[in-house]
């Protein structure tokens, strides 16, 4: 069984394939990790489709994936605070990939994995929960204020809902009708974005308007909630800054630092954050895992279990 999954040229899913590649060598400030679990994100298929090619140079063949958890195999020059054999989780090098037996992680975007946090949960944190953390912090809703999350049922939304709820914020989120109970289990009020009475439900949930809005959908999503966005409401979009600019949105600022990841893992260990990994696919089914995310409607997070490789 080959050890990596990626693509050989930009395009649709038909360009994806299993790859035989040499073990990567860590450069300065990089860690070589044996991957036990890899998170699956919308950015993965976006990279494959060439959406980021203007600013992300990829050598072909390219390996998919941006976040992983595993065990340190080798340290690059200048890496402090980690040792061979440590369980860690973090973000891959830009364009590096981690749907693979081995991946290179950026030391400044990697953290130790607490023993009580599973590799599967840890692999789900850097991109989605990291984005949620940075966005909620930037929006800064305080206890008693409201946060409206557009697209609450996916990886970023479920984490943002829990982080805000933990700070005493009242969370309202848009999701498909099927996800109502799921969203409510996160302590948020669910609003069906396809419901005939969408506007009525929204106004009832936010009678004084929203204090903060996190857009994870883009397109017309912000227009559809404009009735609850008044001057003074702080808005961020993780997906469509152009539309969000019409609502005076703040530009999103991402950190993914070791400190952020450490904080997220601590919350998971304390039972205050659940990345909601609702689908775990064996490595052999990497194509199906990415298809689930590319559908645009996954439940929480999708993760690849790399320990399922027959050669492991």
Ligand X SMILES: NC(=O)c1ccc[n+]([C@@H]2O[C@H](COP(=O)([O-])OP(=O)(O)OC[C@H]3O[C@@H](n4cnc5c(N)ncnc54)[C@H](OP(=O)(O)O)[C@@H]3O)[C@@H](O)[C@H]2O)c1
Q: Which of residues 272-291 bind ligand X (CB under 6 A)?
A: none
State the DSSP code for 196.
T
Q: Is 254 in the site for ligand X (CB under 6 A)?
A: yes
Q: Is 151 in the site for ligand X (CB under 6 A)?
A: yes
Smallest distance from ligand X to CB 264, Å: 14
Strand arrangement of the beta sheet that strand 170-175 belongs to: 189-192, 170-175, 146-150, 212-215, 234-237
Judged by beta carbon, residue 216 or residue 264, the one nearer ligand X is 216
Q: Is 176 in the site for ligand X (CB under 6 A)?
A: yes
For ligand X, which residue of 139, 213, 298, 303 counts as binding (CB under 6 A)? 298
For ligand X, which residue of 4, 33, 37, 238 counts as binding (CB under 6 A)? 238
Tokens of 243: 């539309």
Report the distance separating Cα 80 and Cα 125, nearest Å: 22
Q: Is 175 in the site for ligand X (CB under 6 A)?
A: yes
Judged by beta carbon, residue 99 or residue 102, the one nearer ligand X is 99
Tokens of 135: 């966005």
Q: Where are the alpha helices (H) located in the chain, listed in sequence order? A: 42-48, 119-123, 130-139, 155-166, 180-184, 198-205, 221-224, 241-245, 258-269, 286-294
End-to-end alpha-carbon separation of the chain, Å? 10
Judged by beta carbon, residue 43 or residue 123, the one nearer ligand X is 43
Q: Is 65 in the site for ligand X (CB under 6 A)?
A: no
Judged by beta carbon, residue 49 or residue 167, the one nearer ligand X is 49
The angle subtended at Cα 127 by Cα 76 and Cα 61, nearest 5°, is 60
For ligand X, which residue of 128, 169, 213, 286 counts as binding (CB under 6 A)? 128
For ligand X, which residue of 19, 31, 35, 43 counts as binding (CB under 6 A)? 43
For 181, phi and psi rounded to 5 degrees? -65, -40
For ligand X, which residue of 12, 226, 296, 312 counts as binding (CB under 6 A)? 296
Q: Is 304 in the site for ligand X (CB under 6 A)?
A: no
Tokens of 98: 């981690």
Judged by beta carbon, residue 79 or residue 286, the one nearer ligand X is 286
Q: Is 174 in the site for ligand X (CB under 6 A)?
A: yes
State the DSSP code for 238.
S
Q: Is 52 in the site for ligand X (CB under 6 A)?
A: no
Closest residue by Cα to residue 265 from 122, 150, 146: 122
> Is 215:233 a contact under the CB 8 Å cutoff?
no
> Is 146:140 a contact under the CB 8 Å cutoff?
no
Per-residue x/- track, 189-218, ligand X (CB under 6 A): ----x----------------------xx-
Smallest distance from ligand X to CB 73, Å: 27
Q: Is 66 in the site for ligand X (CB under 6 A)?
A: no
Q: Is 97 in the site for ligand X (CB under 6 A)?
A: no
Q: Is 261 in the site for ligand X (CB under 6 A)?
A: no
Closest residue by Cα to residue 130 from 87, 69, 67, 46: 67
Smallest distance from ligand X to CB 25, Å: 27
Smallest distance from ligand X to CB 23, Å: 28
Contacts of 55 by beta carbon, 8 Å cutoff, 6+ apart: none
| Interacting residues with ligand X (CB under 6 A) | 41-43, 127-128, 131, 150-151, 153-157, 174-176, 179, 193, 216-217, 221, 238-239, 254, 293, 296-298
């Amino acid at each position: 069984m080959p050890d990596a999954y990626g693509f050989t040229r930009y395009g649709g899913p038909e360009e994806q394939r299993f790859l035989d590649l040499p073990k990567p060598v860590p450069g300065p400030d990089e860690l070589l990790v044996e991957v036990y679990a890899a998170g699956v994100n919308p950015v993965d298929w976006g990279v494959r489709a060439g959406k980021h090619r203007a600013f992300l140079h990829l050598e072909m063949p390219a390996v998919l994936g941006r976040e992983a958890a595993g065990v340190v195999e080798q340290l690059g020059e200048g890496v402090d605070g980690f040792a061979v054999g440590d369980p860690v989780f973090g973000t891959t090098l830009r364009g590096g990939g981690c749907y693979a037996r081995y991946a290179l992680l950026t030391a400044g975007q990697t953290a130790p994995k607490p023993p009580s946090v599973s590799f599967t949960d840890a692999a789900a944190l850097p991109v989605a929960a990291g984005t949620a953390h940075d966005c909620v912090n930037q929006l800064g809703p305080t206890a008693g204020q409201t946060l409206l999350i557009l697209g609450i049922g996916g990886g970023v939304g479920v984490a943002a809902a829990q982080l805000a709820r933990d700070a005493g914020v009242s969370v309202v989120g848009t999701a498909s009708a099927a996800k109502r109970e799921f969203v409510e289990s996160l302590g948020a009020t669910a609003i069906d974005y396809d419901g005939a009475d969408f506007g009525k439900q929204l106004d009832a949930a936010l009678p004084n308007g929203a204090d903060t809005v996190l857009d994870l959908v883009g397109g017309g999503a912000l227009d559809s909630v404009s009735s609850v966005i008044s001057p003074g409401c702080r808005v961020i979009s993780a997906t469509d800054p152009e539309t969000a600019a019409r609502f005076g949105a703040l530009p999103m600022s991402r950190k993914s630092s070791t400190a952020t990841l450490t904080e997220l893992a601590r919350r998971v260990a304390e039972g205050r954050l659940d990345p909601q990994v609702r689908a775990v696919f064996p490595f052999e089914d990497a194509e199906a895992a990415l298809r689930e995310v590319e559908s645009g409607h996954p439940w929480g997070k999708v993760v690849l279990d790399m320990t399922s490789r027959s050669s492991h």
